Amino acid sequence: MKTISPPRSPVRLHKELDAVWSTPGGWGALSAVNHTVLGRRFIVAAFVFFAIGGVLAMLIRAQLASPHSAFLGPDHYNQIFTMHGTVMMFLFAIPMFEGLAIYLLPKLLGARDLAFPRLGAYGFWCYVFGGSILLVALAVGVAPDSGWFMYTPLSSRAYTPGINADVWLIGITFVEISAISAAVEIVVTILKMRAPGMSLDKMPLLAWYLLVTGMMMLVGFPPLILGSILLEVERAFDWPFFDPARGGDPLLWQHLFWLFGHPEVYIIFLPAAGVISTILPVLARHPIIGYSWIVVSIIALGFLSFGLWVHHMFTVGIPHLAQAFFSAASMLVAIPTGVQVFSWLATLTSGRPQLKVPMFYLLGFFFVFVAGGLTGVMLAVVPFDWQAHDTHFVVAHLHYVLVGGFVFPMMAAAHYWLPHFTGRMPVYRLSVTAFWLIFVGFNATFLLMHLTGLRGMPRRVHTYAPDLGWDWLNLLSSIGGFVMTMGFALFVIDIALQLRFGRPAPRNPWQADTLEWAMPTPSPNYNFAALPDVASRSPVADDPDLAARLASGEGYLGFVRNGWRETLGIHMVTGKPDQIILLPGPTFLPLWSALATGVFFVSLLMKAYVLALIGAGLSVVLLVSWTRGAGLRKDHGPLPVGRGEAVPPHQEASGPPSWWATVFTLVANGTLFSSLLFGSLYLWLVAPGWPPARLLDIGPGLPLAGGFGLVLAALAGRRSLVEKAAAGITRASLWLIATAGGHILALACLVRLVQMVPDPTGHAYAATTAAILVYAGLHAALGILFAGYGWYRSLSGYVSVRRNLDLRIGRLWHDYTAVAGMVALIMVYGLPKVIGS
Amino acid sequence: MTGRTSPFMLLAIVAGFIIWSSAFTLLYAALSFGCSLGWQSVDVGPVSLNRLALILVWAGHLAALGLLLQWCLKTRRDNVSRGQPARFMTTAALASTSCALFATLWTGLPITVVSTCM
């Protein structure tokens, strides 16, 4: 091993670090895993999708500008409004904030990269490929056409026989992989990779917002993924989850969709609110007022937003008391939102605000978002919702919330952080003109639309009669829409001009106090030549020379060791360093893995199931191959990190990022399973056509044997860790073989049970039972893989008493599989007894 | 490392709202079960079995939140003299639990007045 280089000049240190952290040029750029590169790519791709969604919106407004318009026929119109919503929600809003988070988080937190660079790259490619499926479908005229929420039975095979709905279900599920990947990466990075000394109370508010958002994504997205899988299985194999004639229920889709869909609004809003909490105090020249209360409000919003989903379903015939629960929660959620708005206003009025370009957009946000919030409270009142449901009033409301709560703050963010991206300052006057065009155009479009809706114009109609009083309102809305588009076009021109003619930006142009400004702009590949020691919420304001000191290597890890990409891991509460995190370099593996995943999804779309299986297998092989060469073959113990401190590499630490990532992935996985159980129970209690004619008729033997296998696997997996510590590799390997044996036994029992389930096309009971068993079986199968992988890593020398991360991650999987599998077995064995009685 | 700066305190900050989530989910589930099984037609004293079940679920969660709040108050008192981040964590846990208690009270309030299965 090389020894640590002595301190050098900033230029020499920069060259050494750059050699380790840089991304290759040419085709090699496709192997990039660096967060700065990936963040930029995410943002640019999201903006391209935003432009496409904007063009679709213009087509909608052109169609609705006059009554009896022949511009678009109903078939095309259906595809266009569906794709507008889909593109804006799934391909613009979420990826845009992910891009901002991926670019900004390590810089804001004082780290050199995100926790899982290759996962970030994989997520990016999945996003681009999944989005491309939807765009290609639009280009060839088979785009989704059932509305962006794909309600059944309209989206079921009977009413959408083509592949339009399949494109949505498969394309969006593909993109969701990217969202879950990003969520895991964001959460783990925030908890484990902040600068030393940055305890939770000193963490920038944007990180708090992103932490809660990431957790919400882990819990909020799985219901939609499950719903998409179930609907696709119904469409492809006729398993009747949503068919009321065979024990299914279309409302189950609405529940699963809105379980995702309403938190989604807050998943979009919270990062934008984090942007406001970051920019506003800087431009107001006053520290944020109410830091602790804002943190509590974010947490409250994160939870309460999951109690609102049924307010999208007030008109479907749910009992009054259930409506009252959701109505109460819908009103309640205004309080934590209000706390934040008042904190921002208090900060603004306590400081000396500067009317810079980002501030224009922040003021625009206040007006638009508060108006949208107020109409949201109106819609939370059940009798009013009954009147306004499915009208253009709701369209106006959701645009006020989403454009006000996301687009305006993101425009502020663009102007605020563009000097960081480009190293140049904006061209001032053009930006202001663009703002006014967007602001006036937006309000002209959507303020009037409230009235159109109150006058009874329903959503999703491609034309209307001339004598209903909607003509002039629609015409003015359309004119407003085009004015807004001109504003966005001017914004693009402004950025192009900034890139070409903007004057060079000073290092900290806004006099901000967060760490992303303690580096050169555009930022170097490694962010910080040395990692800072943070002692307050305003590290840059506390030490104006911080950037120069870090550039000269004064701080943690201000050197290159063994050519490793090193950054620090910390105790998640106190911020005390507890490990060196070794990150991987550029590789094409994420790209190949995403392509293989793409083969799987496209094959499903084409009903080429053999090819789909090959794609799935290839994806697993490629994903497992990420670990080749990863890890350490010998113990290192604590290594010096600077400032007289020493900590071990993450492979030898107790809570490394990959362990936490597995925990959070299992949280998402558990949510998906819970949603499946909810679906099964919901159908039993609510759906028509129950009880089914045939139930699973089994004795206790098979479930008991399967349960024994699962428990054996979990206990043996735990034992392998103990043996590793106590008796060495041979006995540990034997326990890993026992783990695999337990999973094999469980898998055999589960496969046999699936064979005994009545025909899944006959009734939703059989379909849900089979789905639960397949879920458990899949986990047992992967458990065999985990056990085999742990065994292989042990034999290859990557595992020791200290370096037992592979086995600990495996243990998490075996434990989860045991619990989920037991619940599944109890459910499939017990439910028929309850139904029968 | 003191207990008040352990990762466990992160859990304490969200524990109140986890209880709220449990209350919300179980109330909705119990209502669906009750209506499906006809509990609204079975009287238990002055209330129906359905409403009684809902009140029990609600009261149980309120009690759990009360206990948690008590623990947060004690922890906060014990940590007043400690520096950050212990003070921040205990204050956030206390505030968050108080909000969750109010949220549970508010969202469950309709149980007392609104008809159950109509």
Q: Which chain B residues touch A306 with a CB distance below 8 Å?
A: 21
Tokens of A56: 């679709």
Instruction: Give the pLDDT of residue A220.
Output: 95
What DSSP letter does each residue of A656-686 carry, written as one string? Answer: -HHHHHHHHHHHHHHHHHHHHHHHHHHHHHH
Tokens of A283: 């431009």
Could you give the 3-state DSSP secondary structure of residue A308? Answer: coil
The structural domains of chain A, with segments of one domain joined by +, span 356-505, 691-836
Tokens of A538: 């305003």
Instruction: Give the pLDDT of residue A264.
Output: 93
B36 touches chain A (CB under 8 A): yes
Instruction: List, in order, residues 6 or more apart from A837 with CB less than 8 Å away.
Output: none
Report residue A25: phi and psi, to 5°: -95, -175
CATH 1.20.120.80 at A691-836, yes or no? yes
Instruction: Give the pLDDT of residue B1.
Output: 40
Could you give the 3-state DSSP secondary structure of residue B23? Answer: helix
Q: What is the spatial distance between Cα A407 and Cα A806, in angstroms, rounded to a whole number? A: 42
Instruction: Give the pLDDT of residue A726.
Output: 56
Q: Give how far B101 is from chain A: nearest CA, Å.
A: 11
B116 within 8 A of B54, measured Cβ to Cβ? yes
- Which region among A112-126, A325-339, A601-615 has the lowest average model confidence (pLDDT)? A325-339
* Shortest CA distance from A329: residue in chain B: B107
Q: Give how far A201 is from chain B: nearest CA, Å.
A: 6
Helix axes A701-726, A764-795, angle to 10 degrees: 20
Q: Give how far A327 is from chain B: nearest CA, Å.
A: 8
A748 touches chain B (CB under 8 A): no
Cβ–Cβ below 8 Å for B10 and A200: yes
Chain centroid offset of residue A384 CA: 33
Shortest CA distance to A121 belongs to which of A218, A29, A32? A32
Judge if the upstream peptide bond of residue A691 is cis by omega within 30 degrees of 0: yes
Query: Where does the pLDDT of residue A331 fall: very low under 50, low under 70, confident under 90, or very high at 90 and above?
Result: confident
The answer to whether the Cα torsion of A186, A189, A191, A195 is positive or negative is negative
Q: What is the CA radius of gyration of chain A?
A: 27
Q: Which chain A residues touch B118 with a CB distance below 8 Å?
A: 319-320
Q: In a mutagenesis test of the A interface, which of B99, B102, B104 is the best target, namely the one with the most A β-carbons within 10 Å? A: B99
Tokens of A529: 């030549």
Residue A403 per-residue DSSP state? I
User: What number of other Cβ atoms are within 10 A of residue B64's Cβ?
Assistant: 17
Over residues A176-233, the pLDDT tens digits come to: 888 999 999 999 999 999 999 999 999 999 999 999 999 999 999 999 999 999 999 9
Judge if the upstream peptide bond of residue A222 is cis by omega within 30 degrees of 0: no
Tokens 């549970």 belong to residue: B104
Cβ–Cβ below 8 Å for B9 and A329: no
Q: What is the spatial distance between Cα A92 and Cα A98, in angstroms, rounded to a whole number? A: 10
Checking if the pLDDT of A287 tops 50, the result is yes
Please give the average per-residue pLDDT across A548-555, as a whole number.
93
Query: Where does the pLDDT of residue A720 fall: very low under 50, low under 70, confident under 90, or very high at 90 and above?
Result: confident
Cβ–Cβ below 8 Å for B7 and A572: yes
Q: Which chain B residues touch A325 with a CB distance below 8 Å?
A: 24, 27-28, 31, 107-108, 110
* Shortest CA distance from B32: residue in chain A: A685
What ipTM score was computed for the predicted complex, to two decimals? Answer: 0.94
Over residues A82-122, the pLDDT tens digits come to: 999 999 999 999 999 999 999 999 999 999 999 999 999 99
B6 within 8 A of B91, measured Cβ to Cβ? no
Q: Which chain A residues touch B32 with a CB distance below 8 Å?
A: 322, 682, 685-686
A674 touches chain B (CB under 8 A): no
| Amino acid (1-letter code) at residue B54 | L
A320 touches chain B (CB under 8 A): yes
Please give the average per-residue pLDDT across A40-59, as a whole number.
97
* Shortest CA distance from A682: residue in chain B: B32
Instruction: Give the pLDDT of residue A727.
Output: 55
User: What number of other Cβ atoms are within 10 A of residue A542's Cβ?
Assistant: 12
A79 within 8 A of A150, measured Cβ to Cβ? no
Q: In a mutagenesis test of the A interface, which of B65, B88, B111 is the best target, namely the one with the most A β-carbons within 10 Å? A: B88
Over residues A427-467, the pLDDT tens digits come to: 767 899 999 999 999 999 999 999 999 999 999 999 999 98
Q: What is the spatial distance between Cα A593 and Cα A575, in angstroms, rounded to a whole number? A: 34
Cβ–Cβ below 8 Å for A321 and B111: yes
Tokens 């901000």 belong to residue: A512
Closest Cβ opposite residue A200 in set B20, B88, B106: B88
Q: What is the spatial distance between Cα A657 and Cα A634, in angstroms, rounded to a whole number? A: 20
- Which region among A140-149, A196-205, A362-371, A716-725 has the lowest average model confidence (pLDDT)? A716-725
Instruction: Give the pLDDT of residue A1.
Output: 42
Cβ–Cβ below 8 Å for B103 and A304: yes
Q: How far is CA A237 from CA A233, A611, A755, in A?
A: 5, 17, 16
Q: Which long-range contacts (CB under 8 A, 24 or more apart) does A26-33 make?
A: A28/A586, A30/A588, A30/A591, A31/A586, A31/A587, A31/A588, A31/A591, A32/A121, A32/A586, A33/A117, A33/A118, A33/A120, A33/A121, A33/A584, A33/A585, A33/A586, A33/A587, A33/A590
Instruction: List, in order, residues 6 or more apart from A305 with CB less than 8 Å away.
Output: A216, A262, A263, A265, A266, A333
Tokens of A771: 């789905």
A316 touches chain B (CB under 8 A): no
Instruction: List, in order, residues 6 or more apart from A740 with CB less than 8 Å away.
Output: A713, A783, A784, A787, A788, A791
Closest Cβ opposite residue B99 in set A300, A328, A573: A300
A667 within 8 A of B13, measured Cβ to Cβ? no
Q: What is the spatial distance between Cα A175 and Cα A180, in angstroms, rounded to a whole number? A: 9
* Shortest CA distance from B91: residue in chain A: A292
Instruction: Give the pLDDT of residue A347.
Output: 97
Q: Give how far B116 is from chain A: nearest CA, Å.
A: 5
Checking if the pLDDT of A7 tops 60, the result is no
Over residues A553-604, the pLDDT tens digits come to: 999 999 999 999 999 999 999 999 999 999 999 999 999 999 999 999 999 9
Question: Which H or E run includes B98?
Answer: helix B86-108
Q: What is the spatial distance between Cα A584 and Cα A566, in angstroms, rounded to a whole number? A: 9
Checking if the pLDDT of A3 tops 50, the result is no
A571 touches chain B (CB under 8 A): yes
User: What is the average pLDDT score of chain A?
Assistant: 93
Checking if the pLDDT of A397 tops 90, the result is yes
Name the stretches of chain B with pLDDT < 70.
Answer: 1-5
Please give the average per-residue pLDDT across A307-311, as a whole number.
85
User: What number of other Cβ atoms are within 10 A of residue A644's Cβ?
Assistant: 6
A652 within 8 A of A803, measured Cβ to Cβ? yes
B101 within 8 A of A308, measured Cβ to Cβ? no
* Shortest CA distance from B112: residue in chain A: A321
Tokens 């060259």 belong to residue: A15
Cβ–Cβ below 8 Å for B35 and A319: yes
B7 touches chain A (CB under 8 A): yes
Closest Cβ opposite residue B116 in set A202, A319, A328: A319
Judge if the upstream peptide bond of residue B85 is cis by omega within 30 degrees of 0: yes
Q: What is the spatial distance between Cα A492 and Cα A620, in angstroms, rounded to a whole number? A: 41
Give me the residues paired with residue A579 across strands: A569
Instruction: Give the pLDDT of residue A739.
Output: 96
User: What number of other Cβ atoms are within 10 A of residue A291's Cβ?
Assistant: 18
Query: Where does the pLDDT of residue A493 fall: very low under 50, low under 70, confident under 90, or very high at 90 and above?
Result: very high
Count contacts between A and B (CB, < 8 Å): 113
Q: What is the spatial distance between Cα A240 and Cα A763, in angstroms, rounded to a whole number? A: 6
Termini Cα distance of chain A: 70
B1 within 8 A of A571, measured Cβ to Cβ? yes
Tokens of A820: 């989920």
Chain centroid offset of residue A582 CA: 24
Q: Which chain B residues touch A303 with a CB distance below 8 Å?
A: 14, 17-18, 20-21, 100
Termini Cα distance of chain B: 55
Shortest CA distance to A20 belongs to which of A1, A38, A34? A34
A574 touches chain B (CB under 8 A): yes
Over residues A663-697, the pLDDT tens digits come to: 999 999 999 999 999 999 999 988 999 999 999 98
Q: Which chain B residues touch A322 with a CB distance below 8 Å?
A: 28, 31-32
Checking if the pLDDT of A759 tops 70, the result is yes
B40 touches chain A (CB under 8 A): no
Over residues A116-146, the pLDDT tens digits come to: 999 999 999 999 999 999 999 999 999 999 9
Checking if the pLDDT of A833 tops 90, the result is no
Query: Could you say which residues from 50 to 79 on chain B have a Cβ atom under 8 Å away from some Cβ of chain A?
Result: 54
Query: Where does the pLDDT of residue A4 fall: very low under 50, low under 70, confident under 90, or very high at 90 and above?
Result: low
Instruction: Give the pLDDT of residue B2.
Output: 44
Percent of chain A at pLDDT above 70?
98
